[in-house]
Structure 1
Amino acid sequence: MEGRTDELVATIYAALLGETSWQSFLDELNGASPGALSTLFFHDMRANAGAMAYVSGSEGREKALGDYESYYSNLNPWMRKVAVTPIGRGIIGEAIVSRDEFNRSEYYNDYIRRNGLETGLGLTLHRDNACYFLLSTLTDDKDVDRNLARADTLTQIAPHLKRAFRYYRSGEFHAAALDLGEGVGDASGLGLIVVNDDLRVVRASAAGQQVLAAGEPVGLDVMGRIRFQDRDLQTSLQAMFNHGRSGQTTEVTYAPQPGMRFIRFGGSRVLQFFAGPMVAILIGDARGNLKPTLLEVAASHGLSLAETRVFSGIVGGQSITEIARSAGVKRETIRSQLKSIFTKTGTTSQKDIIRLAAGISR
């Protein structure tokens, strides 16, 4: 890993620009340590559990990855002390837990050592409340000096990875999704409020803004975060942001109060790891007369956020060229997403998509 900082930084920005993938970045990082296992993963301190978004060096270790998520993440002694490790600084395992203590742990004896590894180094990239997002390399190399040099490389690339988090969590990155949600809310007259995983409002329809101003059934607390008066609604909303949920499919949850639904936007691994989940709150009238929206039609067929944008554009009479232009992507990308929509909805043409949306609306 030593001496490859410039190449790694270049790959980070290439991934941000879509010229390569984040998997390629992780493969390049892992390639500098033969036999290593590198991951981009998160650990939720509240649930004391974690999961991996990207993995490199997993050949022959597929079962080990499943074992980690289902059992050993709860026993990882490094994660128990992650809250006291600085964000943005590479650190070796021995600086968190002494070698003697680590060697006595079940995590080392039954997981690390059994998979041909000895120690690790890592980097905390981002913290979202009690959830930590990290970059980690497990290695069979116990040489402290070499691992310190590798950790120093992580420190040098950390500012660029943190910039990636800032971009993916910015309004600019989410603009297309937010415009879609706002358009659906305004067209239907529903109170629609889009919330990020910090429970902050990132977009609201006109009716949604009126609901927030009235504070009933939902408003903002003194910190500017969404707060329902009903505790069950608050609990249901917070559950939608669980990072362990299957995140690549748009998901509808019927809230425990008539006339209200929560929609968690689905997306790729990039969205789930870097951008974090977003949830749309749909509020109907007091009688629960909440008509299905395009978002719910899309969710009922498991469309991703990008596919939902295409679906909405087709129903709204836009051409593939117009959808591509507004989304800032190539026409071929929209065509590929449209093919996926056909498969998921059982349709074969754009006219079928419009009929599908109209039929469900009736």
Structure 2
Amino acid sequence: MPELKLILDEATREGIIPVRAAERLLPFLIERGVKADGQPVEQRAEPTAFSDTETPSFVRGFHDVLITIGIIVALAGLWGIASVFAVLPAIVVLAEILVRRQRLALPAVALTVTLALWTAVVAARWLEGSPAVIAIGGNVALQYTLAFPVVFGLFYLLYRIPLALALTIIGAAVVVLQLVLRTLGWLSGDPLFEVNHPVVLSIIAIICAVGLFALAMKFDLRDPLRRTVNSDIAFWLHLGAAPALLYSVISLAGLSGGTLAALQTVSFRTPVVVATVVALMLIGLIIDRRAFVTSGLLSLGFALYGIFRQGDASVDTYIYITLLTVGAIVLVIGTGWMPLRRLVIRTLPAAMQEKLPPA
């Protein structure tokens, strides 16, 4: 069936609707569940078998890839020749052409990521700091993180990009974390509360990560067949919630400095890393989201590396053993995703199975 934009263009040429009405009708229909191929969700024929691929709708074709490469190269050149402040008008102009008018998905993602880098650099310059050295807590960190939900919230209102909404939500979660830490520091009279109470920090981070995951599942459950924009929003939220869950749990287990501590010492904490990664992989199988699998691979590699280091093998040997083990796990899960998922889904209650993507 012709794309929705082509249908609306033909309607304007025949004088059925005015041009301005067509421009406003296109995003209106897409936001309400009509895909770009012009066929509403409710009228689509049910597929004979549910596809096990988790391909986001922003991956469409090499045409979008070519334009995205042009966006990255052009903005990088503009950033270097002019200044960081010249990049924002360029992002807006490109978004007006490529997102609002042509509805290109992958370029929209590229522009959103560029806006994230722009926000990080400009906010750090405004606060006379650097994105790499801004602390977790404090007024400076709060002002720095507050810039992200504000910028991305405005960007989403203008162009309705799923990634922009996901980054708005993730940024808001970080701001909430900062506000809670600042409140606890004010009540306790300790300006370095998050440094002196790492366990409390980890617990609050876990609560925020669980809330992020719950919100992602809310979008996912609205679209179990992955056909509307809700699926794209859930994809990006899961991509942020999975590592947030992983590293906050690892931090609570006492791995100061993140998973790099597993390279230095091997104790009861290493099994905690492995168990957490396995749990996330199980969650990923249940909800049919591979983000929960990929987010834990790096930590799993560090944990296995620490285990193999206890042996008498040379450095090269246990590095290659770690790579081989992680690679084998990825291949087993990747090639057997649907059989493994069917095996796990069968153990769940029928009411839960009906709300999840088919296996």
Scaled by the length of structure 1, the TM-score of the pair is 0.29
Scaled by the length of structure 2, the TM-score of the pair is 0.29
